[in-house]
A and B are shown apart, each in its own frame.
Chain A
Amino acid sequence: MKGYRQGDVFLKKIEAIPKEATKKPNTILARGEATGHVHEVIGDAELYERDGTLYLRVRSSVELRHQEHGTIALSRGAYEVGIQREYTPKGWNRVVD
């Protein structure tokens, strides 16, 4: 399985987006609470959500951009979005920035 990473945002290629996923109005994968910076997909792509998990459909080549991190080119296909996590004795938490 292959994937990409931009800061605390990860993407992995998947076969298909779950049918029950609903379309989001933008293509922002994550937003920093402290900085307001965003991980945003620019180009012909759609973002979906199901049970708190984001899925990205890229229709042609697009770019994943961020104010501080380097741009990542993404090819056509379906992706699942994941966020870096951090250990606590009570379990794993998503990294919040």
Chain B
Amino acid sequence: MSSIRPEAQAIIDRLKAVDQEKPYTLDAARIERAFADHLKALAQPCRPVQFIGGLGAARDAVWSASWDAARGAAWDAARGAAWGEAMGAAWSVARGAGIANSLYDHPKYQGFRAMWMPFVDAFEAGLFVYWITQAKVIAVPRPLFRFRGEQLHGDGMPAVAYPNGERNYFWRGVRIPEEWGGVHSEHWRPEWLLAAKNAEHRRVLIQGLGYHRIMAALPNTLIHSQDGMELREITQIVDVEPIRLLKVVCPSTGFAHVLRVPTGVDTCEEARRTTFPWPDVEIMKET
């Protein structure tokens, strides 16, 4: 049976003690010291830390920095550096904890420790993600997070808010469009169901508004129902042909989902089969 060593547990406890729902706290000097220590342990030259208050803006800055450094190289290499090599401070702390827990008797333990332990300080000081480019470190302060249980969630407000005004909206762990996320769920509009392209967004709308409330608001006819499924046709003209919707319930989550099906199908099971990539395959197990 594995156990957590005291030093690793101490790191985990410091990580857990950071309140991510508190307004921004940034100790820039402490973060700069942490990067200096990290680079020294890697035998790399120290470089300035540029703080950028949003993830999108930081990616743009990393792209520019990488492009400057890689001038003449492939454009994709610079773009890849901006989008692929971000390091999460929490991940770096976790790496430190992992080293403390499992490599404590390794001959190079002190060296590994010197590389990764500075990130415990940096995380506490408000570091969220960072990139180390040739000329500088680009660091993004921790945004304000809102959770519901363990899931990112904000009802009518952003679940992730960066100091520079960048916002991300989540509903119970699902990222949703800003047009929805900025509106309290009591004021969500049933007709959004017909326009949403993403099936998970539709599921969230159903969860937030209630399937029956949506159907009560959209003029429709019930064509067929079977085993919790419903096949309905929206009678309001909003497309080049009538919209026929199948409601199904996921056997694993119990969540209701809605999919558009062809107008030619008249039973729920027939409609369900049309959504399978291979309608004739016998499904042995479904979860």
Contacts and interface: CB of A to CB of B under 8 A. Distances in A.
Answer yes or no: are A and B bound together in one complex.
Answer: yes
A92 to B, nearest CB: 9
B284 A3 contact: yes
B178 interface: no
Contacts of A51: none
Nearest to A96: B198
Contacts of A43: none
Contacts of B59: none
A89 B240 contact: yes
B274 interface: yes
A2 B259 contact: no
Interface string B254-287: 0000011110000000000011111011111111
Contact of A5 (B199, B204, B285): B285
Contact of A96 (B199, B240, B277, B278): B199
A86 B241 CA distance: 15
Contacts of B277: 10, 82-85
B281 A34 contact: no
Interface string B15-40: 00000000000000000000000000
Given A5-B285, A7-B250, A96-B197, A87 B280 contact: no
A34 B176 contact: yes
Interface in B161-215: 173-176, 197-201, 203-204
A97 B241 contact: no
B234 to A, nearest CB: 13
A46 interface: no
B226 interface: no
B274 A87 contact: yes
A7 B61 CA distance: 38
B53 to A, nearest CB: 23
B91 to A, nearest CB: 15
Interface string A1-14: 11111111010100
Interface residues of A, number: 30
Contacts of B199: 8, 86, 95-97
B241 A89 contact: yes
Contacts of B262: 87
Contacts of B276: 5, 10, 82, 84-85
Given A1-B280, A34-B201, A85 B275 contact: yes
B274 A71 contact: no
B227 interface: no
A94 to B, nearest CB: 8
B282 A2 contact: yes
A71 B198 contact: no
A42 B225 CA distance: 37
B282 A72 contact: no
A33 interface: yes
Contact of A95 (B259, B282, B283): B259
Contacts of A69: 250, 252-253, 287
6 contacts: A7-B252, A10-B283, A70-B287, A85-B276, A86-B199, A97-B200
Interface of B: 173-176, 197-201, 203-204, 239-241, 250-253, 259-262, 274-278, 280-287
The 4 closest A-B pairs by CB, nearest first: A82-B277, A70-B287, A97-B200, A3-B281
Given A87-B262, A97-B198, 6 more contacts: A2-B284, A34-B198, A70-B287, A82-B276, A85-B277, A86-B259
